Amino acid sequence: MTRRLLGALTALLAGALLVTGCAEIPRTSAVRQGPDIQNGLASDYLYYSPSGPLMGESKADILSGFLNASTGPQNDYGIAREYLAPDFRAKWSPNQQVYIQRGGQKIQFGPKGAVQLSIGVSAVVDGQGHYSVRPAGTTQNLSFKMAQVNGQWRITEAPNAVVMIRPVFEVIFHSYAVYYFDRTYNYLVPDLRWFPARASTATRLVSAILAGPSKWLSDAIAPAMPSGTKLAIDSVTVDKKTAVVNLSVAALQASRLQKQRFKAELTATLTQLSGVSKVQVQIANAIQKIDDFSPASTSSGAYAPVVLAASQLQQLVGPSGSRLANANQWVTTLGVTDFAVTADQTSVAMTTKTGIFTGRLDQSEKAPVLVDKRTGILPPRFDRRGQLWMLGADGLLQVLPSTGKAGWYKIHWLKDHTVKAFTVSPDGARVAMIVADSKGRVRIQLAAVVRNRLGIVSGFGSPIELAAGVGTPTALEWAGKTGLLVLSDIDSTQSDLTLLTIGGDPREISTLDHAYGLMTSDDGSNIYVLDSRRRVMQYRGYTWTLLDQDVLAAHMVN
């Protein structure tokens, strides 16, 4: 980062500490490049080097200095603790909560050393790294107490929290996917967390794995290790790019396969750190020889959509697959209006006026089969297991496995709601939906998909709501492991494209001519829309490029 940017961040921090009512002069402190910690574990870590309290400072000075110093997590917030009374220093636990401040502050000094701090809050990060967006206008009141210690004002009570403006938060905190196995132990499922980028980050990530996933996701996750497994010591060390994870004796109960799965979770999670390339597991200081376990890939391999145009299914970019051509006779005879194709292009689902048919592209001599007689349901989707999802606007879902009997589900939380669109995550453990309630309010909901050990859907967890961004959502697609691209109507002529990070903030990507179809590659790097003029457009560096026209439907293989 340039000196100019570092200076700007310092100025922003100082500006955020200005208060209304009882005014105070905030401290300033330098922003410096941090040292290379643990063989590059935090080589890009920038930290604030705040100053400690000075002799004779007022209560306003001490509070301002403390708030400033609490943005510097080095040495376990050592400088911030200098502002605390000696008997309170060890009790203060700043990792419990981070408030990301929006707007200014108000401070009121009361009798007997009481202080009330009121701030606007845009988001909160809890002790496990969960990031929660707060609605505009949200405020938080924080209570402090102060007293004189040896003639100097010190803080005797403070919330177990720190307050940061967003530019400071974005410098100090990084997001990390914490990985858990789904209930089939085939796929790794990410759960995004936010931690300060420092030497202790590896410890916090392993602790998060052992503590389990976010509550909303827990129904889709299976534990890798026996209950009660903890770190033997509260530290994960990194030596020559190897993260050493020392577990408690409870881990001795784990089977060979459990250890392999846990090592896979650790490896996927910890290798996000720049100084880690592999993992060593110990139990009660004894090194464990654990073979590698390879989770199933969630990649479809697709980078461009398949289109339904001129009564044919065609791969839009790249050579046309012979298997897609096998569907063309069915497209014509059945009058297909929409479709879904498996990633290996062996199966196709086709929407018609009489319902949804399925056909085998690798066995085109066999006639397609009518599998759902309902009309007017949402476009069908395959998941990575080859299971076909057919969802009605009323929330009644049929899931048809590649072999075996179909299952029908009435999703309880969709009562009195209309489903507008849905998408299943590549790991199959999460489903996102655009729904409208009885009053017409449109929301985006995300829920865990509960499966049995064979991968068959057995139910759904309770949903959480995601911030929808600009406009009224109409379409959504997974983009990367923790992202959702959302297409929204701004008005009758324009649409908005936003990236929602599950466990983070939304980010507007682009506005475009009115569109209703959305497609993206696995990592979200290739984005396509089907607009109201039936054109397929590709997003390329802030512009939209025409790829095809007169298209009836377009989807990525899934």
Residue by residue, pLDDT tens for the chain (558 residues) are: 333 334 434 444 444 433 333 333 334 443 333 333 333 344 334 455 788 999 999 999 999 999 999 988 888 899 999 999 999 999 999 989 999 999 989 999 999 999 999 999 999 999 999 999 998 899 999 999 999 999 999 999 999 999 999 999 998 899 999 999 999 999 999 999 999 887 789 999 999 999 999 999 999 999 999 999 999 998 999 999 999 999 999 999 999 999 999 999 999 999 999 989 999 999 999 999 999 999 999 998 888 999 999 999 999 887 655 789 999 999 999 999 999 999 999 999 999 999 999 999 988 889 999 999 998 899 999 999 999 999 999 999 999 998 889 999 999 899 999 999 999 999 999 999 999 999 999 999 999 999 999 999 999 999 999 987 789 999 999 999 999 999 999 999 999 999 999 999 899 999 999 999 999 999 889 999 999 999 999 999 889 999 999 999 999 998
Backbone angles phi, psi at 336, to 5 degrees: -70, 135
Q: Distances in Å between the alpha carbon of 245 and those of 88, 197, 511? A: 32, 18, 46
Residue 106, Cβ density class (10 Å: 0-12 exposed, 13-18 middle, ≥19 buried): middle
For residue 470, what pLDDT is reported?
A: 83
Measure the CA–CA gap between 17 and 229, rounded to whole angstroms.
42
Listed residue (2, 362, 382, 430) closest to 189, CA to CA = 430
For residue 38, what pLDDT is reported?
A: 36
For residue 28, what pLDDT is reported?
A: 40
Q: DSSP states of 504-527 as a string?
A: S--EEEEEEE-EEEEEE-TTS-SE
Measure the CA–CA gap between 151 and 162, rounded to whole angstroms.
26
Measure the CA–CA gap between 304 and 527, rounded to whole angstroms.
8
Helical ranges in 152-224 per DSSP H: 166-172, 201-211
482 and 501 Cβ atoms separated by less than 8 Å: yes
Residue-averaged pLDDT of the chain? 89
**Encoding tokens for residue 163?**
């307050």
Question: Per-residue pLDDT tens for 12-22?
Answer: 444 443 333 33
**DSSP letter (8 states) at residue 272:** T
Would you call 395 helix, strand, or coil by DSSP? Answer: coil
Measure the CA–CA gap between 314 and 317, rounded to whole angstroms.
9
Question: Per-residue pLDDT tens for 304-356?
Answer: 999 999 999 999 887 655 789 999 999 999 999 999 999 999 999 999 999 99
How many residues in the chain? 558
**Residue partners of 73: CB distance under 8 A and separation at least 6:** 47, 94, 172, 196, 198
For residue 548, what pLDDT is reported?
A: 95
For residue 558, what pLDDT is reported?
A: 86
Q: Distances in Å between the alpha carbon of 190 and those of 175, 214, 237, 385, 503? A: 12, 10, 23, 18, 11
Measure the CA–CA gap between 484 and 208, rounded to whole angstroms.
23
Q: 396-418 b/e with 16+ CB inside 10 Å = b?
A: bbbbbbeeeeeeebebeebeebb
The dihedral over CA atoms of 433, 311, 492, 497, expressed in degrees to the nearest 10, equals 50
> H or E element: which one contains 62?
helix 59-69
Measure the CA–CA gap between 502 and 444, rounded to whole angstroms.
11
Q: Distances in Å between the alpha carbon of 250 and those of 180, 263, 291, 306, 369? A: 19, 16, 20, 51, 52
Question: Per-residue pLDDT tens for 195-225?
Answer: 988 778 999 999 999 999 999 999 999 999 9
